[in-house]
Amino acid sequence: MSTQTRSASVVPLRGFVPSLEGMRAVACIGIVVTHVAFQTGGATSPILGHVWGRFDLTVAIFFSLSGFLLWRPHAAAARGRGSAQPLGRYFRSRFARILPGYLVGVTLILMFLPDAGGDYRVWLANLSFTQVFVPLTLTQGLTQMWSLSVELAFYLLLPVFAWLMVRLRGAAAARRIPVILGAAVLTLSWAFVPVSTPDGIHHDNWLPGYFPWFAAGMLLAEISVGPPTWVHRMARRRFVMSSIAVAAFALSATPLAGPQGLVRPAAWQFEIKILLGAILAFAMLAPLILAEDGRRHRFLEHPVMLTLGRWSYGLFIWHLAVLAVVFPVFGIVPFSGGMWFVLPVTLALSIPVAAASYALVEDPARRRLASRKKAVTASVSH
């Protein structure tokens, strides 16, 4: 095959990528690490504090995974390779994915976790995913839900993004990558935009502030359905991609990406953190998505990691509530140390709760949606 023919060929579309499921487990455990480090005081230690605190960049991996998985059908359709979900089915699948487990978790935590409940605003904001817009509604056991508020905003706006790029199809599909990249670069100025908000609300915590993390996955989706490029060749160099990810993480653990703890960063520090998170997520996901070298990822595709990946949403929802219980049960004073005891205990107690959430709430909801799809398809065929 000539070089010209190879460059014109396209990478075969891949369906389920097991290693991405394992990566969900890694990202979720990273989130647990950063929350345990903060609440035990580990994130304020003079040497490793910045490192533990910056495990919050694993949120970038979650956002990039959403960007890749949800944008890939649109990227493929733009090149005549299948079609995206109809709008109604898309929203039903998204809501079936996040709403059941979320609503059950939020309701039980607000009802039974001490200091979690509040007035009607706390309930309404948390049940409606509007915590990042309503002051003082990120309550105990649920402070991590700001990211789901951002995620839901991306779900709602993704069809708008697809509509805006509908003309970039066929021969014009090559322009989609620079458009997405340009939008990501543009939103890196979001923290500098003067937006009036109530006390306790910060506009950089809204979707535009984190769009580059979603865009990293969207770019991978576009590249994955296009012809082989230098990015595919780079993705096969796992050592190089790992080095890029480590370098991005190391830089994020310096004052360049903001101070330790909950001290708000300057606008330029926030944007550096967002840029480094996008680079880290791209570098970690590209080998899993683009490298068609036949090598399996034994760690990420291990049955334990795949199982934890399936349970990762429940682990994300419940781990802070479990952590809030661990302190009084074991007589540990918050911010007084004990990270290496609290972390394994929190994981050991949170994982069974996550498994129950998956088995009793999340999986039945998805199965119900799948059976409804089959029923609709059968009725149409008849």
Per residue in 235-254, pLDDT (tens digit) is: 999 999 999 999 999 999 99
Tokens 């949120």 locate to 59
pLDDT surpassing 80 at residue 262 = no
Q: What is the pLDDT of residue 294?
A: 62
Q: What is the pLDDT of residue 6?
A: 39
Report the residue count for the chain. Answer: 382
Q: Please give the average per-residue pLDDT across 176-199, as a whole number.
A: 96
pLDDT surpassing 70 at residue 20 = yes
Q: What is the pLDDT of residue 61?
A: 98
Sort residue 41 into left (φ over 0), alpha (ψ -120 to 50) or beta: left
What is the Cα–Cα distance from 182 to 367, expressed in whole angstroms?
A: 39
Q: Please give the average per-residue pLDDT across 295-310, as a whole number.
A: 92
Let me know the angle formed at the C-alpha of 69 by 313 and 357, rounded to the nearest 5 degrees. 15
Angle between helices 339-357 and 18-40 (to 10 degrees): 130
Model-level pTM? 0.93
Cβ neighbors of 281 (< 8 A, separation 6 or more) are: 60, 61, 63, 64, 213, 216, 217
**pLDDT classification of 5: cutoffs 50, 70, 90:** very low
- Identify the three-state secondary structure at position 249: helix
What is the Cα–Cα distance from 139 to 137, expressed in whole angstroms?
A: 6
Is the separation of the CB atoms in 259 and 46 below 8 Å?
Answer: no
Other beta carbons within 10 Å of 298? 10
Q: Please give the average per-residue pLDDT across 33-51, as a whole number.
A: 91
What is the Cα–Cα distance from 175 to 181, expressed in whole angstroms?
A: 10
